[in-house]
């Protein structure tokens, strides 16, 4: 539990930590499910991808199954696409008249670093930078 490790790191004794946690539980102020939901929803609002949000959930000490269930229930694939598109549009390199492979890779890495799948970032980049019939296969113009 995150609060337990935080209090322990601040030097509180185990007895005191247990009392605090029990009191918070009695008042229904510790709810891992609500925390997981909030982390997923706020992560998406902050343009973070599934893997980054999952890492945030686990870092907070939430169980693997709760993290996975929360992502399955509250993570929006449509919002994921919108976030990637937003990040692509925000990229200053996209204003360049023609993007070379290294620029495309740089944009993809930046988006992937936020927890988004590189293949999806690359597909959306392709959609946004190529006119119909302008490319063949997996190559960019």
66 and 20 belong to one structural domain: yes
Long-range CB contact pairs, 3-7, < 8 A, 24+: 3/30, 5/61
> Distance between CA 129 and CA 94 in Å, rounded?
8
Nearest to 5 by CA among 61, 63, 50, 67: 61
pLDDT over 90 (residue 91): no
Residues 6 and 63 in one domain: yes
DSSP 8-state code for residue 137: T
- pLDDT of 24-76, one tens digit each? 888 877 888 999 999 999 999 999 999 999 999 999 989 999 999 999 999 99
What tokens appear for 53 in the block?
């949000």
Interior/surface letters 46-56, b for 16+ CB within 10 angstroms, e for the rest: ebbbbebbbeb
Reported as a single tens digit per residue, the pLDDT across 117-127 is 999 999 998 88
Residue 65 within any structural domain of the chain: yes
Both 62 and 82 in a single domain?
no
- Residue 101 and residue 39 in one domain: no
- 34 and 57 part of one domain: yes
pTM for this entry: 0.75
Q: Are 68 and 104 part of one and the same domain? A: no
Counted domains in the chain: 2
User: 18 and 43 share a domain?
Assistant: yes
């Amino acid at each position: 539990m995150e609060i337990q490790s935080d209090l322990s790191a601040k030097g509180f004794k185990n007895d005191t930590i247990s009392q605090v946690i029990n009191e918070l539980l009695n008042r229904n102020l510790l709810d891992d499910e609500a925390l997981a939901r909030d982390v997923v929803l706020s992560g998406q609002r902050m343009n973070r991808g599934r893997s980054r949000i999952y890492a945030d959930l686990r870092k907070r000490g939430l169980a693997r199954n709760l993290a996975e269930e929360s992502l399955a229930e509250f993570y929006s694939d449509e919002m994921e696409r919108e976030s990637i598109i937003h990040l692509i549009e925000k990229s200053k390199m996209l204003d360049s008249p023609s993007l070379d492979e290294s620029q495309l890779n740089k944009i993809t890495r930046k988006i992937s670093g936020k927890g988004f799948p590189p293949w999806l970032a690359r597909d959306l980049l392709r959609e946004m930078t190529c006119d119909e019939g302008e490319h063949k296969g997996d190559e960019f113009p």
